[in-house]
Amino acid sequence: MIQGSDGVLSDGELLYGMVGGGPGSFVGDVHRKAAAFDRKARLVSGAFSRNYEGTVSTGLGLGLEPQRLYRSFDEMAEREAARQDRIDFVSIVTPNYAHYDVAKTFLMNSINVVCDKPLAFKVEEAQDLARLAEEKGLLFCVTYTNSGHVMVKHAREMVRRGEIGEIRMVMGEYPQDWLATEIECQGQKQASWRTDPAQSGVSNCVGDIGSHIENTVAYITGLRIKSLCANLDVFGAGRKLDDNAGILLKYTSGASGMYWSSQVAIGHDNGLKVRIFGSKGSIEWEQENLNYLRVAFLGQPVQILSRGCGYIHLEAARVSRIPSGHPEGYYEAFTNIYTAFAGALLKKKAGQPLTEADLDFPNAEAGVSGVKFINACVESAKKGSVWVNLG
């Protein structure tokens, strides 16, 4: 079917700033492209690096005014909050260790927040950010990428409509091989900070990619984890944090789950896969084949559903951008998250009530759930892989 989307643009433009995303940053560039894609938000300020020269070179390269390039995030939050043309939100793309302090500083200055995951190191910190955002009436988005994919949204709608029945079992895996050798010892930037507890937190593998399984499953199914039992491995010589993990789960609904995440699985690039088994059927989605959804119903042939076709549920089809057979991917998913957040913020600024559809982006509570999951996995492993309740 050669049919495109009617578009996702709305009137208005937001101004935003960025903390992190300076020289050598991969994810900073992704966020900037995603925020700009639908022309709903324009980058005007930043504290891109702990080194002011890095901030200046990045900012000037992006065409920003020198007076809106700051030496620290504290200075940026205070000075932007005092401007008549203040930023509407901040995008936080620093290594994990800075998320909490940066987010709290901007919330205290009444500035809305978009933050990369994980939301914080400690559960109490994540809960503090969620509480503060609610008390101040601010919007908070945590950029779990997969919630922006069209076929993930279609899977979610299928579950909501009861099409696969009562969920019984969930299988999630996320194998990579990029840390199969100790490349952090060779100065590789992404590996260096992710394997450093001071910057990455209590977990590397679970915190980095295992948390994507948790959020993708939660987004599609609405299931909440009751308890889990985790085994965390450290295979890289000299590493202090996990690079492989196996996790058993029980959900509050009575369903069961198994997750596997690994950064030492040779032969795998970025293989996130989620399989959801219900009483009437099953759903399977793969990140590396993300425009398709494998669906099976009891007693019927297996179906492969394709993004961009007329049978996709409206809630998913509205964010499909190009005709079927023309692949959409990572940047578009990030864009859909930013566009939903920006659309909600524009409506809020106009004094219009927000609907559930307006708020279709991962919020602070999703961030809290992710931090609980990470910390529970680490606690379980440290105690000898015992079952741990998430509360």
* 94-113 tens-digit pLDDT: 999 999 999 999 999 999 99
| Model confidence pLDDT, tens digit, residues 133-168 | 999 999 999 999 999 999 999 999 999 999 999 999
Q: List C-alpha distances in Å: 157 to 147, 152, 224, 329, 364.
A: 12, 9, 17, 20, 22
Instruction: List, for residues 8-20, the tens digit of each pLDDT value.
Output: 334 578 999 999 9
Domain 155-321+373-389 matching CATH 3.40.50.170: the answer reads no
- Within the chain, residue ranges assigned H as helices are 26-37, 52-61, 73-82, 99-108, 123-136, 150-160, 189-194, 197-200, 205, 211-221, 314-317, 330-349, 364-382
Strands 244-251 and 225-233: antiparallel
pLDDT of residue 7: 36
Residues, the chain, total?
391
pLDDT (tens digit per residue) in 30-64: 999 999 999 999 999 999 999 999 999 999 999 99
Separation between Cα atoms, residue 291 and residue 308, nearest integer Å: 9
Tens digit of pLDDT for each residue in 316-358?
Answer: 999 999 888 888 999 999 999 999 999 999 999 999 999 999 9
Is 2's pLDDT higher than 70?
no
Number of H helices, E strands in the chain: 13, 14
DSSP label at 362? Answer: -
pLDDT tens digit string along 294-313? 999 999 999 999 999 999 99
Distance CA 171, CA 185 (A): 34
- Residue (of 234, 259, 230) closest to 244 by Cα position: 234
Q: Tens digit of pLDDT for each residue in 208-254?
A: 999 999 999 999 999 999 999 999 999 999 999 999 999 999 999 99
Taking alpha carbons only, the member of 192, 251, 261, 267 closest to residue 24 is 192
Q: What is the pLDDT of residues 72-96, one digit of tens each?
A: 999 999 999 999 999 999 999 999 9
Closest CA to 333 of 209, 210, 150, 173: 150
Gyration radius (Cα) of the chain, Å: 21
The strand pairing partners of 257, in sequence order, are 170, 249
Q: Are residues 108 and 132 in contact, defined by beta-carbon separation less than 8 angstroms? A: yes
The pLDDT of residue 11: 59
